[in-house]
Structure 1
Amino acid sequence: MENLALPTIGIALLCCVLAVMGVHTYASGKAQQQAVVDRLSITGPPAPAGRRRRFRGVDRRMRQTRYGKKLDNRLAATGLDLTVGEFTAYMVFLAAGLWFVGSSALAAFFGPIAGLLGIWAAFGFLGWQRGKRNEKFINQLPELSRILANATQAGLALRTALSMAAEELDAPAGEELGKVADKLSVGHSIDDALGELTDRLPSRELVVLVTTLVLSNRAGGTVVGSLRNLTVTLEERKETRREVRTQLSQVHMTAFAVPVLGLGALLLMNQVMPGSLDRMTSSPLGQGAVVVAFGLYALGFFMIRRMSKIDV
């Protein structure tokens, strides 16, 4: 029995050591997993020095939903230094603030309408920022085409030419081409990497450029002549777009002035006759009239924007 006691104690001690090592390995793995989740929860460009991400728990939960995934793609296309959680929280604060202001300054009935306008304004700002970034990227396409033509004429491969263009061009073209170069470096094909670029920044000019590069890469032919001709065409389209935008600037201002005049009329009426909005919205007929009026203003805004939209 004494001979069996020592091996038993040794095995027991070995099991204890292995158990402690297993618990330590499990805890270390959980910590590493949480660190990876925290890094993945940060969308968009890296946070600048001293910038701490807010609402990280909200961001993790939102990114697991379909709404969060779509919003993540929209934020990536705008180039804003915001996460899904931050944007959602700021949008909720804006809607709540406008709800309070609308209820206090006008009437209680206008609170929910002001909150909905705040949500619409937040998503409208994303669309405006995306369009602004897309327009800036389009203006850089002639220079991008020129760089690619010079690089391919010098004998560089298309992958190397794209990486060189990412280093030489400013944002947003440099940032977007940097993403393309990163995907190419980890094994993605040129078709997939450039296809994701056109999804993030859709435009006819970019589609033509990407199609030229993809077809030339598949056929294995030279792209110098095509890129030279495309550079001239993009320069001409750039000037045409600038002229059209200048001609339609007054129409765009009119579209925004129409709803502003309606809101100003409500404020003026409430100042001239205090409490008139409360009395007007106290009955279903008055509430229906207000809803119809806001709907007509919104319809006028969208109709003017639609009629002034010219695809070049």
Structure 2
Amino acid sequence: MLLATPAHASDEINIDHVESANGKVSVLLAVDKLPGGAAPDLESLVVTVDGDVVDASAKTVEAGEIERTTVLALDTSRSMRGAPIEDAKAAAKAFLDAAPDDVKIGLLTFSGTVQGTIEPTTDHATLANAIDDIELTLGTRVYDAVVNAVDLAGTDGARNVLVLSDGMDQGGGAPIEDAMAAATDQKVVVDVVSLDQRPANRALLSKISDASGGSVIDAEPEALKGVFTAQADALASQVLVTFPAPQKSVPEVNLGVRLTAGNSTYDDSALVTIAVADAGPQPVTHAKSKVGKNAMLLGALALGLGLAVVLGIVMMGAKGQSEAQRRVSAYLGEAKTGAKGKRSGEPAPTSIKESAVALTENFVKGDFEQRLNKRLAGAGLSLTAAEWLLIHAGVAAAAGLVGLILGGGAVMVVFLILGAVVPYLYLKRRHSKRLAAFNGQLAETLTLMAGGLSAGLSMPQAIDTVVREGQEPMVGELRRVLIEQRLGVEIEEALDGVAERMESEDFSWVVMAIRIQREVGGNLAELLTTVATTLREREYLRRQVQVLSAEGRISAWVLGALPIVVFLYLLLIRPDTARVMYTEPLGIMMSLAACVLLALGFTVMSKLVKVEV
């Protein structure tokens, strides 16, 4: 269906609405302004399209032939109190009684805000009850009312808005330009009933009505009923003109209508757009793209760079492990068996994964690589620093792509940040859990080692006993100690490596105690038993503190995460609502202030519930 811009001339007949569908053009013709209420001679109707006469027929509009919608927008500000509002209610109900039954009528009341709306309906009795319940409040925002009334009128059929107001817009809402644009863009006729308005106020209302093809009607409170009844009678007297759609397609045609009433002939014309009869399937209107042109160009550039990097990786190839590295990996049990039974340390055909890892290793060096490898080992992950960074980057890129698909550029940035942060938090959490399990097993491990030493075993033999009878993660770390000791590393140095990897202060004290015993002598079994007792009491106290502070820690996490989760929810479900927080200057300032306060509050609550044992 194609809608045409309504044409309202100052003549006695007016083309109110034109629509074209299924090879037929329907025209609503207003004839309520004929002099003396003369009845039009429908047999005398002549319709021309670009000067060519077409075969047309005319009749009074019947229910279901064409959709007609009217929205009543009533001013309910305090200035309407007393007789004006009562006259307005009576006039609105008179409009409901006089309007044809097939006309859908909606209701909107406004003062300082748009307060109540009822969707257009043919149940006029329900609207009458709602009119009786109208209450007055402060303020007048006419332009907001026009914008909302136009939206309420919908998009189908002949639509018009009838506004009643006794004052000028007091500002603070939509400007008059928005009201004019809403009416013209949606092709909705806006008629304004001006109640005791000053000339300056009337001129402003005329801008809206003139832009939409409507008019401003001056009225006194006691004359409102007659004005509204006349508007309803105009709907009842509309004539429906139909004729076949033209066979040729042109951007606009000059549509002319001429008929006779009494002894006079009246005509009207308008430039309209009409769909041709053989137009075929109409083009599909797609939703607005979530990604702008610049974002698409950046995405294409990123894709090209990614393909170039992959190509460079494949061409560079992987160096593979040295002979010494393969032997140590096999001895430590870290070599993995490939799909064809080969060890990963053996020379194998270069894959993209191996090439990518080899390339990443060129950039991951020095202290950063050592610290990251130590954290990975402490977390129990058999990954190198280069492999972890590749996985980390892949998760961030995948998260950004998902965000781009779900909500466009803003959601992509948020998901990209989450993709960069979540793997780090996962590694930290895994290391913390493994450290907690390690410290929890430490007291029992020392007791078992002390028993072995009391039975005459050496330190390596006592550790081997724990390896054979203990549990992870203690078993894995002590197994590595034995392997390093067999490769020539001092037992104390190997144990120090465990303390560094696990970042366990308790185990550092154990190693220190063993070093002191080696230097000054003494009963090591008794020393380990004493240390085990102390650590057992510390672990009990640590768990007590965790239980007592659990409520505070959970509160800190919930209160810290709740604003972020709500923002992400709005960003996905209601992006227009969330967009204000990062596009408008005030919204950006509020977002930054919220982030600062949120970080400060989370830090304070974390400090309050964190107790060192």
| TM-score normalised by length of structure 2 | 0.41
Match of 1:46 among 331, 334, 337: 334
CA contact (8 A) 1:41 1:56 kept: no
C-alpha distance after superposition, 1:70-89 (max 9, x if no partner): 32221111002434344223
AA partner of residue 447 (structure 2): R
Match of 1:59 among 352, 357, 362: 357
Match of 1:164 among 445, 450, 465: 465
Paired position in structure 2 for 1:181: 482
Paired position in structure 2 for 1:237: 538
Q: How many angstroms does 1:45 deviate by?
A: 7.1
Q: How many angstroms does 1:144 deviate by?
A: 1.0
Paired position in structure 1 for 2:559: 258
Distance 1:190 1:47, change over 3 A: closer
CA contact (8 A) 2:357 2:390 kept: no
Paired position in structure 1 for 2:612: 311
Alignment of 1:32-111 (within 5 A): 34=321, 36=323, 39=326, 46=334, 55-64=353-362, 65-66=365-366, 67-103=368-404, 105=406, 108-111=409-412
Which secondary structure does the structure 2 equivalent of 1:55 belong to? helix
Distance 1:39 1:289, change over 3 A: farther
CA contact (8 A) 2:549 2:609 kept: yes
C-alpha distance after superposition, 1:117-176 (max 9, x if no partner): 322221121111111111101111111111111111111222222222222211111111
Distance 1:272 1:77, change over 3 A: closer
User: Is 1:213 the counterpart of 2:213 in the alignment?
Assistant: no
CA contact (8 A) 1:99 1:112 kept: yes
Distance 1:190 1:38, change over 3 A: closer
Distance 1:39 1:295 in 2: 50
Of 140-149 and 46-55, the range deviating more from structure 2: 46-55
Which secondary structure does the structure 2 equivalent of 1:240 belong to? helix
Distance 1:155 1:269 in 2: 68
Distance 1:119 1:200 in 2: 24
C-alpha distance after superposition, 1:194-246 (max 9, x if no partner): 21111112233212211111211223322122122222222222211211111
Distance 1:288 1:101 in 2: 28
Distance 1:119 1:268 in 2: 19
Alignment of 1:129-148 (within 5 A): 129-148=430-449
CA contact (8 A) 2:376 2:383 kept: yes
Which secondary structure does the structure 2 equivalent of 1:187 belong to? coil
Distance 1:247 1:231, change over 3 A: same
Distance 1:62 1:274 in 2: 38
Q: How many angstroms does 1:297 deviate by?
A: 2.6
User: Is 1:119 the counterpart of 2:420 in the alignment?
Assistant: yes
Number of residue pairs matched by the alignment: 282
Paired position in structure 1 for 2:157: none
Paired position in structure 1 for 2:348: none
Q: How many angstroms does 1:69 deviate by?
A: 3.4
Of 127-136 and 56-65, the range deviating more from structure 2: 56-65
AA partner of residue 162 (structure 1): I
Distance 1:84 1:150 in 2: 39
Q: Mark the runs of 5 or more structure 1 residues left unpaired by the alignment.
A: 1-30
RMSD between aligned residues = 3.3
Distance 1:143 1:49, change over 3 A: farther
Distance 2:402 2:563 in 1: 17
Which secondary structure does the structure 2 equivalent of 1:275 belong to? helix
Match of 1:225 among 519, 526, 536: 526
Of 293-302 and 236-245, the range deviating more from structure 2: 293-302
CA contact (8 A) 2:440 2:539 kept: yes
CA contact (8 A) 2:571 2:579 kept: no
CA contact (8 A) 2:451 2:525 kept: yes
Of 83-92 and 100-109, the range deviating more from structure 2: 100-109
CA contact (8 A) 2:357 2:387 kept: yes
Distance 1:88 1:268, change over 3 A: closer
Larger radius of gyration: 2
User: Is 1:128 the counterpart of 2:429 in the alignment?
Assistant: yes
Distance 1:250 1:263 in 2: 20
Which secondary structure does the structure 2 equivalent of 1:133 belong to? helix
More helix by share: 1
Q: How many angstroms does 1:276 deviate by?
A: 2.3
User: Is 1:203 the counterpart of 2:491 in the alignment?
Assistant: no
Distance 1:194 1:274, change over 3 A: closer
Q: Mark the runs of 5 or more structure 2 residues left unpaired by the alignment.
A: 1-317, 345-351
Distance 2:371 2:498 in 1: 16
